Amino acid sequence: MKRLLIIGATSAIAGACARRWLQIGEPGQTRLFLVARDEAKLEQVAADLRVRGATVDIFVLEATDYGRHAVMAEAAIGTLGQVDIALIAHGSLPDQVACEADAQLAAREFEVNATTVIALLDRLAQVFKAQRRGCLAVITSVAGDRGRPSNYVYGSAKAAVQAFCEGLRARLFRTGVHVIDIRPGFVATPMTAGLPLPAPLVAQPEAVAHRIVAALDRGGPDVLYVPAFWGLIMRVIRSIPGALFKRLRL
């Protein structure tokens, strides 16, 4: 039996991952504990997965309600018994220009994309440390690899989570727990709908999910770029000298 905890379960990538796990798993051998803030959408996702053969439980959580993080973790353990894989996939894509004009908005977006994720990682780290096994994964973004003027509020939040993951990975390594930082590039989701993205670089959620699920099931690597070519693209972008980088329109 594979026991999965998915936070942000109504997101396109998380939903595609859940369906992929069911597709490759043995019938009746996948149990899911799904967490999201929108109860109606969460029920819809759960119903679809049950039709596909999964045993599914749900938990409604607003990520900024930090007091309920522990309640959620306890409910997941009480339901699943243990967690084989936890995937944190919630977040928002802020309007950079609006954030530049409103410091409170920028702070709220940073909280949603960084502070809440870090708090959940810290809470789940306690669960996995007690188990001494399992995979704790979080979806960050290639945007966190370097602060670009077009989305540095979002990128800085993702960078904070990436740095946290690196430290948490080292902390949990000797306990047998693996922490994976998943960095997607452009993905065709409702969050990116309407953005002027370069079509050849935009991946479908299902293709992204195939790569994520394969990586999580085998417990590696530490950092996963999806699609894989983003690893090369970001290596080039990281190598650009700062004196030149600040002059680019990225």
**DSSP 3-state assignment of 139?**
strand
Report the C-alpha gap between 206 and 203 in whole angstroms: 8
For 229-250, what is each residue's pLDDT tens digit?
Answer: 999 999 999 999 999 999 998 8
Q: Over 80: is that where the pLDDT of 27 sits? A: no
Contact 97, 27 (CB under 8 A): no
What is the mean predicted confidence (pLDDT) over 61-73? 98
Contact 118, 35 (CB under 8 A): no
Question: In three state form, how does the secondary structure of 18-74 look?
Answer: HHHHHHHCCCCCEEEEEEECCHHHHHHHHHHHHHCCCEEEEEECCCCCHHHHHHHHH
DSSP conformation letters of 82-101: S-SEEEE-------HHHHHH
Helix count and strand count (H, E) for the chain: 10, 7
Task: Name all domains of the chain by residue range, CATH numbers in brackets.
Answer: 2-245 (3.40.50.720)
Report pTM: 0.96
Share of the chain above pLDDT 90, in %: 92
Pair of tokens at residue 140: 């960050």
What is the mean predicted confidence (pLDDT) over 110-138? 97
Q: Over 90: is that where the pLDDT of 28 sits? A: no
Pair of tokens at residue 43: 């029920």
Instruction: Determine whether 154 is an active site residue.
Output: yes
Average pLDDT of the chain? Answer: 96
Contact 183, 226 (CB under 8 A): yes
Please count the other Cβ atoms lying within 10 Å of the Cβ belonging to residue 65. Answer: 13
Q: Over 90: is that where the pLDDT of 16 sits? A: yes
Report the C-alpha gap between 104 and 224 in whole angstroms: 32
Question: What's the pLDDT score for residue 197?
Answer: 85
What is the mean predicted confidence (pLDDT) over 146-167? 97
Question: What's the pLDDT score for residue 199?
Answer: 86
Q: How confident is the model at residue 26 (pLDDT cuts 50, 70, 90)?
A: confident
The one catalytic residue among 66, 152, 154, 225: 154
Q: How confident is the model at residue 196 (pLDDT cuts 50, 70, 90)?
A: confident
